[in-house]
Structure 1
């Protein structure tokens, strides 16, 4: 699995990040898992075609003991297995890395 890992995050900063993710209603099905939506404008052609049946699309962010792990896999909310579920394109990846970095910076968390 390809991941973007942010390590050595203070407990109080991790709580601040988690609270902000909950406020945005990005919570997933499991505790400590958040679904960061991929903008429709960045979807691949097949993902756009499958949007009604498989979407919406997201990347999973896992909050661990003192780190954050963003999976670089674009997942579909309504289907586990489909050809539209695949690793992020460079554009999707860059957008999500920038989004996460800006999100953390906006919370005034320094890493």
Structure 2
């Protein structure tokens, strides 16, 4: 799986990130998985055309010592569809920029 991983988090960092994610993205599923909705203006042509599959998401797993962001664009209403694919450059950058901005906002240095 292609991912953006931020590791070596301190427990204080984990707690700040968890509080932020719970507030911003809702309660995690399976205890540690957050679904982050992707902005519509960065969807690729196939994803934009699949209105019934929207919204599209990135999955982020928060553990006490690391934050793992999958680069697979997912949907919730189907197990498989042509619009599910690895993120393109614009989508990857959007996700990494978002995670970096969260860390900056929370004053977490990694």
Q: TM-score scaled by structure 1?
A: 0.93
Structure 1 unaligned regions, length at least 5: none
The whole-number CA distance in structure 2 between the counterparts of 1:13 and 1:28 is: 17
Q: Which residue in the other structure is 1:64 paired with?
A: 63
* Aligned 8 A contact 1:36 1:61 in 2: yes
Q: Which residue in the other structure is 1:109 paired with?
A: 108
The whole-number CA distance in structure 2 between the counterparts of 1:108 and 1:61 is: 20
Q: Which residue in the other structure is 1:47 paired with?
A: 47
How large is the RMSD of aligned CA atoms in angstroms? 1.1
Pairwise CA distance, 1:5: 0.7
* Aligned 8 A contact 1:59 1:71 in 2: yes
Q: Which residue in the other structure is 1:14 paired with?
A: 14
Structure 2 unaligned regions, length at least 5: none
CA deviations over 1:45-91 (Å, ceiling 9, x no partner): 1111113x112111000012300100000001212210100000000
Q: Which residue in the other structure is 2:86 paired with?
A: 87
Aligned length, in residue pairs: 110
Segment drifting more, 24-33 vs 91-100: 24-33
* Aligned 8 A contact 1:34 1:62 in 2: yes
Q: Which residue in the other structure is 2:3 paired with?
A: 3
The whole-number CA distance in structure 2 between the counterparts of 1:41 and 1:31 is: 30
